[in-house]
Amino acid sequence: MSIALPDGYHLREGADAVAAHGYLSRSYWATGIPLETVRQSLENSFAISVLHGTGQVSMARVITDYTTFAYLADVYVLEAHRGLGLSKAMVAFLRAHPRLQNLRRWALCTLDAQPLYRQFGWVEYPHPERMMTLDNPDIYG
């Protein structure tokens, strides 16, 4: 599967937990997340990342059963590498990945990236009365 990236960047399956922790621990959605939690989350999901040289500069992961449902989580691009289409490339890669086809439903949560995800078919949930959550936003600190 070929996804266009700027020169010097390449996408790979898998992610470096230490690099991911460096960003996630300061993100609005996972502030203070322990490194071991990041490690476990990557072990129990399908993650991809973009490298610039040998350094991980972005990541996304999907929590899925590969059959009916996928939850897109922890999508980030380091500040110095934003505006290059890396998040679009990651989402396109995931949406086209052979193991993630024919799913009944994809879901995600975002504070400010709705325009990105709309480009790939996401919409606000049409039946909010059916959706429930159990949130514990202060779990890491």
Q: What is the pLDDT of residue 4?
A: 87
Q: What is the pLDDT of residue 2?
A: 65
Domain that holds residue 40: 9-130
What's the domain count of the chain? 1
Going through the chain in order, the beta strands assigned E by DSSP cover: 9-13, 46-52, 55-64, 69-77, 105-108
Does residue 22 belong to any structural domain of this protein? Answer: yes
Does residue 138 belong to any structural domain of this protein? Answer: no
What average pLDDT does the structure give for the chain?
96
Does residue 26 belong to any structural domain of this protein? Answer: yes
Does residue 112 belong to any structural domain of this protein? Answer: yes
Does residue 56 belong to any structural domain of this protein? Answer: yes
Using a pLDDT cut of 90, give the percent of the chain over it: 94
Q: What is the pLDDT of residue 61?
A: 98
Phi, psi (5° rounding) for residue 48? -135, 160
Does residue 140 belong to any structural domain of this protein? Answer: no
Buried/exposed 86-123: b ≥16 CB within 10 Å, e otherwise: bbbbbbbbbbebeebeebeebebeeeeeeeebeeeebe
Could you tell me the CATH number of the domain that includes residue 65? Answer: 3.40.630.30
Select from 88, 18, 77 the least CA-distant residue to 51. 77
Residue with token string 């086209």: 96
- Rounded CA-CA distance 37/35 in Å is 5
Instruction: Give tens-digit pLDDT for 83-120.
Output: 999 999 999 999 999 999 999 999 999 999 999 999 99
Does residue 139 belong to any structural domain of this protein? Answer: no
- Rounded CA-CA distance 24/95 in Å is 23
Does residue 107 belong to any structural domain of this protein? Answer: yes
